[in-house]
Every structure is written in C-alpha cells, then in structure tokens.
Structure 1
Amino acid sequence: MPNPHAPLPFSATVHPEARPAQRLTWDSREAGPEVAFVALPGETMHGNRFVEAALEAGAPFVLTDLDVPRAVRVPEAWAALRAWAKAERAKNVRVIGITGSAGKTTAKAYAAAALNAHFMPVFNTQPAIACFLIEFGASDRPLVVEMGIDRPGEMAELVELVRPDVGVVTAIGPAHLEQLGSIENIVREKGVILNGARGLVGAQAAPFYPGAESYGFGNVTHAGQGLEITPQGATFTFGGVNVQLPLAAQVQAEAAVLALLLAREAGVPLTEAARGLLDVSVPGGRYRVHQGRFTVIDDAYNASPVAVSAALGALHALPGRRISVLGRMLELGDTERALHAQVGQEARARADLTYGVGEFAAELGERVYGTVPELIAALLEEVKDGDVVLVKASRGISWTAEQRAQAGVGLDVVVDALLQFRDSASAD
C-alpha cells in the first residue's frame, strides 16, 4: 500500500491530510478515494493540469510539484516515482521481466499463473511499471513484468527500473521499425533484458541469441515433449508431468513451458503449477477462441509480422474452412509494403479464404476491402457453419473510430460483429 507518511526514498513535503492509497495512477480519470494520482509530464501537457480533478475525485494524495491539499510535494514527480519504484522492487526476491516482438502478454499470463505471482496489467509503459512496483514490490509473491519497448535505449531504462532476476525474450521479428530501424537493432535492444540476469529465450528467438538458454519444443535447452494441438487445445509433457491447455495453440504451449520452468526453479511443484495453468486468462484480443456454429479466433489486440505468422500457424492446425481476416500492421517503416506482402503470401498458403482490409488489403488477402464496414458486410454474407475465422491487425489505439475503419486497424469490431451475428443466428 503506497503510504506517503512512511519513510520515502526521496525528499518530499507531505501534506498532513495525505492518506495511504491502495494504488497509484498517472491517469487522472482513474483517481478516486483509494487511488492516488501522479502528475507526470506528457507529450502534449503536464499532469499538473489534472491535479485538481484528481483531488475532487477523492485521491488520497497527489505526487506533484504543486502546493495543493494532500500533496506529496517533490521537485520532479517522475524522478520521485522511479526512486519509489526501485525501493519497493528491492523488497521482492523474484522478479521476472518479459519482452519480445510477439507473445509477451501470453507469456506473462502463463508465468504468473504457474508462479501465483502478481503481474502487470495491460499497460506496459514505464509509468505503469513504476506504479505496479510500488503497489506490489513488497509482496512475498513473485512479480511478472511485461517490458515493451519502441525506441532505442528504452530497454536499458526499464532494466534499471525493474532489475529482473530472470529476463525473457519470447520472439524476435519486425516491430516498431519506425523507431528501432532494423531487426539487428531489435535484437540488440531487446537483448539488454538478458544482461545481468538469468536469461531465457523462446525457440523462435534462440537463433538470435547464440549461447542463451532456450525454452519451447524441439532443439531447445528446456523442452516440452509430445506436443499435440487439436481443436480442443494443446497437450504435452514437461518434467514428466502431463499438461493440458484448453483452446490453446503452440504459442500458448511455449508460454506454458516457460511458466513451468520458472515454477520449478522457484520451488513450486510441477503438478501444482500445471493445475494453475488451467486458470490462465489473457486479455481480450490475445488469441481467444470463441467456439460455436463457426469458430472465431480473436487475436485482434495488435499485430506484427511474427505475431501474424504464429496466428496463421494456429489457424492452419484447425479443421474446417479456414478464413484469415487481416488488417494493417503499423510502425513497420520503409519495408511495410514488403512485410504486408510476405504476411499475405503466408495467409494464402495457410488459409482457404483470405480477406484484407485497409491500405495494404491487396497484399494481405485475395478478397480486398477499403474500409472495415465494407469488410464486415461481406464477411457476414460469407461465413458458414464449421468455418474458423482468424481476425488480426494492429490497434491504432490513438486513432478515432473513423480513422481505424478507413485504415483497416482496430479489428476488434469485426470480432464483435461476427459473434453478434453468430449468436443472433443461433437464437433464431
């Protein structure tokens, strides 16, 4: 519990009315009677503009340089937040840091389930990680931290903040190329997580990090055995223990191998850890399989070439008429058209029917649509009982709904339309 009256690892003037909080936020809209507000500088405006709103919402305290009621007043809020996060993280004996071009959210969820750990929510920015460490650092349970980057030098900053005891790279591929520039830069920047920690890399990433311990299936250091994938899910053995993962594919199975390895090394019995994996829940849009008259694979949260390739592999393994619905992948730099064409070629090889939407629709699919509404209308006319439909694209989270519809991103609306259509037809 963040307590402003406890000894703090930074100089501050604490208002006498400041109260302990359950957690911290840098988003004033989340501030409330149990949630304190940190006024951080932003790209367009400073969080100080929202201090009054946070106080009116009942925030127990605000971390700011302003002289206001319930203030924990500091010269610079971001520096104070980082210092506080580092001090709380130092109280925890096992912190797992996970990065990768794809699969890190899934790996985080499986590792946390096997370890009974606290884990990062959806956001993986530095402020989010700092707030998470302050909230849970002193816990006697392990921490699992997702560490995403999109610019050079950012992983070094994150490692300094998190200081993971185990650093994991799930996969390597072209992502955030506009800032990172090349695969070589991605390998180097993400690889910083392996320095000074126990390093583990997924099977796909292993060739990029010669000598690093690897996990997954096949020719890796720590391998699961006898992987079988069916419409019901994935099964394999690890350390002599049978593992069953409902509605899972190879990406989830590899995450489970990582989770079981981490659990074994933490002293958790493998049978107990394997039971924990049955309760894994990943956020919406990360390979959620919705079975019914036809099956919808909701993998629409985000997309990069390596992530789309993995999703297409999962689609190909399932019976029925396989349909891929792909939209634009963002932040790919000068190579974006070639990378979309590469993904589209793989889609044509692995799916029976391919749809593309947005600027690179022709590269992504044989059935081409300029906007998302046009795509949805055509798709609902086509889909039949027994089909399996994969939906994947980047989010365009900062764009308006109209911009996303025109660009062919944010395809969660396609998933919603498919499920509503399926359920309404079932009711009839």
Structure 2
Amino acid sequence: MTTLEKIYQYFLAARQTVSTDSRKIEQGCIFFALKGENFNGNRYANDAIKSGAAYAVIDEEEFASTERTILVDDVLTTLQQLALFHRKKLGIPILGITGTNGKTTTKELIAAVLAEKYKVSFTQGNLNNHIGVPLTLLKMDSNTEFGVVEMGANHPGEIAQLCQIADPDFGIITNVGKAHLEGFGSFEGVIKTKGELYDYMAKKSGVIFYNRNNTYLEELGKNIPNRISYGTTDAGFKGELLDSPPFVHLKVNFPKGVLYINTKLIGNFNFENVLAAACIGNFFEVDPLKIQSAIKNYEPRNNRSQLIVKNDLRIIMDAYNANPTSMKASLDSFAANNPDSAYLILGDMLELGEYSFDEHLSILKTIREKAFQNVFLVGKEFARANQNFDFPCFEKVDDLCQLLEKDPIKNGNILIKGSRGIKLEKVLEYLN
C-alpha cells in the first residue's frame, strides 16, 4: 500500500475531516502542514496532534516527532493528490467553472438548480485556488451525487493545474475580461488561461457550456465537439432579458415551452449567469418549474449584486470585487436602470499592474460620458487618473466615511463597486 493509499484510509477513518489550520482542529481529523510566505505548518504539527488531530502530514523530517506524523515529499502536492484520488473513488460527475466575472454567482445558481434533482456539493466561499479546490473535493462524500467546483486564477497555467486536480467532466467559462492583468501579463493571457478549462474538456471528450453571444468563448470552444450553447440568438438554449428593474427578469425557451424567471439579482450583466444556470439545469433534466423556483429563491450575499434598502436609499452593493470589465458592466446597468438621483461610490480596481492608469482613466471617461453628477472615488489609482477630472476622490474609505457622517446622502440610488481590498462595505454604516 502506497503512502497516498494509507493516508486515504486514515482520511476515511477520520470521517473525511481535514484541517490546514492548527488553530482549528476537529477531533480525529488529519492535519496537513502547509507552508506559506510567512508560515510553516510543519512547526505546528505536534500542536495539531495534541489538539486532537489523528495524524499530521508533514514534509520536514525534523518535525516527525511521533508515529502519528506522516512524512511526505511535499504536503501541498499530497493534499492535491489525495483530493484527486478521492474524486476518482467517488466517480461522480463534476462541473468545473471559471471566468473573469460572475463565476461565484453562476456557481451558486447552478448548485441551487441542480440541488432540485441531485445531492450537490459545491465550492464554498472563494475556496477556488490550488488549496481550496482540493478541500472542496475532500468535502464530498458517498452521499454526493454531483459536484460543482469553482476555479480561480491570476497567473497562466493555474486553471490547467486545477483541472488536473478536479478532473471535471463538464465545464463552463462565464466570460473573459480584464482582471489580474498584473499576473496574466495581458488580456490575451487572461483568455488563454481561462481557455485551459476548454483545453482539458477537449482532451477528455467532456462537455462545455458556452455563451453563444460571447465572441471570445465562441472562438475558444469552436473545436470542441461536445458543446452546448446558450444565449439570446443562434443558441441551442435561448433566453431574453426583460425590462423589469431593479431585478433581473428573463424569458427562457425550454424545450416544452416558455417560462418567465424572476430573480433577486441586480444588474443586467447577471442575465448571462442566470441563463447559464437554466441551460445546465435543462441539460441535466431538472424540471423547468423547479429551475424557475430555484433561481427565484436564490438570494445574493457577500456584497455581490445585493439590493439594500435603507429608508429612502436604494443601495446596489457590489463591492466583493472589481475589474475593468465588471466595473463597466455595472455602470452600464446602473445608468440604464437608475437615471434619477444616482450616486456612485467607486473604489480602485486592484492587480492591474502597468494597465492600471489607463483602465482607471477609461472608467472616469465612462462616468463623464454617462453624465453621472454625484460621484465619490476611493483609492490611489483613481486619484492618479482623476487629475484631469474634478470628481471628489479619497485616498482611503475612512476619509469618505467621515464626509458621509457629516453630510449624509438622504435619498436616491447608490451603486457601490470596488475591489475587496478597498473595503467599501464600511460606507454602509454611514448610509441611512
């Protein structure tokens, strides 16, 4: 029996409980001593065992203090291999999802729809990287009938690596846009990296779901035989966005007839996410009425496309993350649906590297073109680009909070959008 097989037996005996944080140990779990830039999990292996871990997987021999420490060449690699081994043992269908924008919302919509027919396990929160994907897979058990795995990336090759771990049978790329340009090097680098999911599907003869109206995705997926399209025109599965602000409302053509689907999602850009979930539900033969109900009942959270009503204020809270593509889409939707008493509170878009100045400048030009009058900017990048404009700009969100406390916004529609690092959620306390 190999070391991996032994660890797998221990994993099953531990009721499939693993930990990567020695401060959060469940009785009988397996502790994986991961390393980072500022920590070395090996140093805490003995503490984890004392706290109740059945075993600790380490990769530095000097910390092999008891028979309950398992020495391997590399802890992270072992964690990833264990996840793949477990995924193979389960033998369930796995849907992999990536994209620049909307992948978390789409993942949750898909999971909600599929849960109407299957016992679904899916990525929680943002556990979508080289550590999060293995942990997501290891949470699946013998009761799981379908897995939905979100895959994130900010460097070339990362989606390919995650595909090797999760081994998806089905794949969807929500879209490709200008995000993490500092890591990808260019927009072309973004497209190539996201396309690694399609590449894996092609080699495996898997199935992809793609937006027929997205030129980039159409090109990326053109040579994949097993592909299912969704979109507004010339697609296998069609839908139409209806005019019904503030929430996204759509008409969907199912094989046996048309259904109208209401949502609790804000922003026209969410139309594509909802249509994707409906398309995938239809492919896996979920009852259309249950698809309609699942989507209707889905409530966004974690500062994603949320509508918050405070007295006479209607706040669109979408500050979980931001990049040039999602920022532009939010501004377009907000301008179309909120022509009067509109306020913008926008934070920097981070991780854009050498493209940062031009992309922030482009957003400011869009704001000017759409004639927004009430604009508040937060962050050093917007400050640099704002030199040729006259919008109020604050280096830190706390500075804006001080202004709002003295001179509050009393009524109107407010869009809050920015990268998570700017912490725009702080302003909510001062909007009432």
Aligned to 1:112: 111
Aligned to 2:286: 268
Matches within 5 A, 1:281-320: 281-292=299-310, 293-319=312-338, 320=340
Aligned to 2:56: 62
Aligned to 1:4: none
Q: Distance in 1 between matches of 2:282 and 2:217?
A: 26
Q: Does the 8 A contact of 2:265 with 2:305 survive in 1?
A: no
Q: Does 1:229 align with 2:247?
A: no
Q: Does the 8 A contact of 1:22 with 1:34 survive in 2?
A: no
Q: What whole-Å deviation, never above 9, does each CA across 1:152-179 have from its counterpart, x for those lacking one?
A: 1111111111121221111211111112
Q: Does the 8 A contact of 1:234 with 1:248 survive in 2?
A: no
Q: Structure 1 counterpart of 2:307, which letter?
A: V
Q: Structure 2 counterpart of 1:200, which letter?
A: F
Q: Does 1:366 align with 2:391?
A: yes
- Per the alignment, do residues 268 and 185 of structure 1 end up closer, same or farther by CA in structure 2, a change over 3 Å counting? same
Q: Does the 8 A contact of 1:202 with 1:216 survive in 2?
A: yes
- Per the alignment, do residues 259 and 42 of structure 1 end up closer, same or farther by CA in structure 2, a change over 3 Å counting? same
- Per the alignment, do residues 35 and 315 of structure 1 end up closer, same or farther by CA in structure 2, a change over 3 Å counting? farther
Report the more deviating stretch, 28-37 or 141-150.
28-37
Q: Distance in 1 between matches of 2:263 and 2:161?
A: 35
Gaps of 5+ in 1: 1-6, 397-408, 423-428
Aligned to 1:87: 85
Report the more deviating stretch, 297-306 or 133-142.
133-142
Report the more deviating stretch, 81-90 or 312-321.
312-321
- Cα RMSD after superposing both structures: 2.8
- 1:230 is paired with a residue whose SS is coil
Give the drift of 1:126: 1.3
Q: Does 1:152 align with 2:156?
A: yes
Q: Does 1:121 align with 2:124?
A: yes
Q: What whole-Å deviation, never above 9, does each CA across 1:56-108 have from its counterpart, x for those lacking one?
A: 43234333343436445534322322222112222243211111111111111
- 1:145 is paired with a residue whose SS is strand
- 1:28 is paired with a residue whose SS is coil
Q: Structure 1 counterpart of 2:381, which letter?
A: F
Q: Distance in 1 between matches of 2:177 and 2:95?
A: 22
Q: Which runs of 4+ in 1 moved over 6 A?
A: 13-18
Give the drift of 1:283: 4.0
Give the drift of 1:208: 4.8
- 1:10 is paired with a residue whose SS is helix
Give the drift of 1:203: 5.9
Give the drift of 1:129: 0.8
- 2:307 is paired with a residue whose SS is strand
Q: Does the 8 A contact of 1:51 with 1:62 survive in 2?
A: yes
- Per the alignment, do residues 393 and 268 of structure 1 end up closer, same or farther by CA in structure 2, a change over 3 Å counting? same
Identical residues among aligned pairs (%): 26
Matches within 5 A, 1:20-419: 20-33=14-27, 36-65=30-59, 66-68=64-66, 70-90=68-88, 91-116=90-115, 117-122=120-125, 123-136=127-140, 138-195=142-199, 196=201, 197-202=206-211, 205-210=214-219, 212=222, 214-218=229-233, 220-239=235-254, 240-292=258-310, 293-319=312-338, 320-350=340-370, 351-362=372-383, 363=385, 366-381=391-406, 383-396=408-421, 409-418=422-431
Gaps of 5+ in 2: 223-227
Q: Distance in 1 between matches of 2:357 and 2:2?
A: 51
TM-score by length of 1: 0.84
Q: Distance in 2 between matches of 1:167 and 1:376?
A: 42
Q: Structure 2 counterpart of 1:88, which letter?
A: H
TM-score by length of 2: 0.84
Give the drift of 1:11: 5.1
Give the drift of 1:415: 3.0
- 1:317 is paired with a residue whose SS is helix
Give the drift of 1:225: 2.4
- 1:253 is paired with a residue whose SS is helix
Q: Distance in 1 between matches of 2:156 and 2:215?
A: 21
- 1:132 is paired with a residue whose SS is helix
Q: Distance in 2 between matches of 1:361 and 1:259?
A: 35
Give the drift of 1:301: 1.2
Q: Distance in 1 between matches of 2:191 and 2:268?
A: 22
Q: Does the 8 A contact of 1:17 with 1:70 survive in 2?
A: no
Q: What whole-Å deviation, never above 9, does each CA across 1:271-296 have from its counterpart, x for those lacking one?
A: 11221123324441211111232012
Q: Structure 2 counterpart of 1:299, which letter?
A: D
Q: What whole-Å deviation, never above 9, does each CA across 1:323-376 have from its counterpart, x for those lacking one?
A: 111111111111110001112222334444221122133436722222222212
Q: Distance in 2 between matches of 1:75 and 1:9?
A: 11
Paired residues, number: 401
